[in-house]
């Protein structure tokens, strides 16, 4: 059980890193330092799907991490 949770956590961690890097790829260098081109930005299409999937993966990672901590106690 512990090994399965560790493998799942490792896969989710890699997926989460990849999803976050894919989201930041579309931004310009100015946004890294706090400058934004527009005041309000809505997510549409693939950007919205990517955002929602990354939230789901982050929640799954949190649940697996808590379960792994509970198993180790």
Q: What is the pLDDT of residues 25-37, one digit of tens each?
A: 555 545 555 555 5
Average pLDDT, the chain: 82
Q: Is the pLDDT of residue 48 over 90?
A: no
Q: What is the mean pLDDT of residues 11-21?
A: 93
Q: Using an 8 Å Cβ cutoff, are 16 and 58 in contact?
A: yes
- pLDDT value of residue 40: 58
**Cβ neighbours for 36, distance < 8 A, ≥ 6 positions apart:** 30
- pLDDT value of residue 46: 81
């Amino acid at each position: 059980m512990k090994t399965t949770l560790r493998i799942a956590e490792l896969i989710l961690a890699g997926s989460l890193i990849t999803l976050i890097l894919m989201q930041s790829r579309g931004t310009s260098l100015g946004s890294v330092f706090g400058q934004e081109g527009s005041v309000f930005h809505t997510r549409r299409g693939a950007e919205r799907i990517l955002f929602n999937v990354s939230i789901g993966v982050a929640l799954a990672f949190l649940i697996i991490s808590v379960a792994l901590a509970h198993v180790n106690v």
